[in-house]
Structure 1
């Protein structure tokens, strides 16, 4: 799936809930090196973002499994690559298809030891560059704030390495509806890519869930 595919799929506004539903989700493995990745290789979608951006809440919202990804009040707690096996049911045919959701450690937490940050960066980079099954990356950015230096660096690195990325603006319920478009425009300007599609998401209200499921559907049938 290319960067253009992601943008077109999200822009189409097809009702994802009419095509696909996540009926099962379970934890599979944690890894810090390739040898620890799951033996059964499936298509993968990876999620990454700054610590405390709401990544675990989004994963739980997407899968509708309470505490599948542990929500912690301690930023930077996720220190491994966590693999989850999700079962997607195609509503039109009733057929199921498995894929992996990959939860990556948060970046940009100042109190994390420098040695740990270097170690995490190494195995995250290894995953991004050498996973043969990675389809695209969901990079989460807090909609309430302008992207920070670490957000920009991660986005630029993904684009430089030709890794398709979908920007998800989390915590959309924390601002007014009128402010959403303004903040999205600011994120787009800060990242320096005028045409990039950005998906606002609210985990408590499930806003953006249908659109994200639609992108996943198109990935699975590709």
Structure 2
């Protein structure tokens, strides 16, 4: 039982780092489902095996080595939960693409008021309309996810993080919309999208770019 849990933690950590790239402990815990206090036991052996490296400094965190990426691909291909969810992954992928296109348009509106006018966030009415559009897109995503979450529960981990980011945006934290490496709504959405592509065995194409 303990060995099985360790194996699951190994896969969850490797998969999460493949999805995220560089993750600090709090983000890695939220993404992988491994409690923060259990991360050292999961990460240290992977570091010793040369699968993961730890970065310190201004942007600390863990990331996969080339060997770690190869090991992740091997484990992903053998993961029974991912294999069993193939039909649900394909169905959600088809539902997700038009929602993702809407999300890209909302992000564009957040950044630019027109083709040549950046949004300086000095107009609360305009920003409020964009946040409202984001909330509608969020609802569309949530309505389309239950079948996949039932089949592959790791996709359910994105929902509370998206909710928290949306709440921060509504509370006036504009950086929580799209700032990189901030656990922003955009960051979390991109993680979900990357997880979907990896889990479904797809290659990112023009449709994924909206």
TM-score in same-fold range (> 0.5): no
TM tier relative to shorter chain:
under 0.3
Structure with the largest fraction of strand: 1
TM-score if structure 2 supplies the norm length?
Answer: 0.26
TM-score if structure 1 supplies the norm length?
Answer: 0.25
Higher relative contact order (CA 8 A, sep 6+): 1
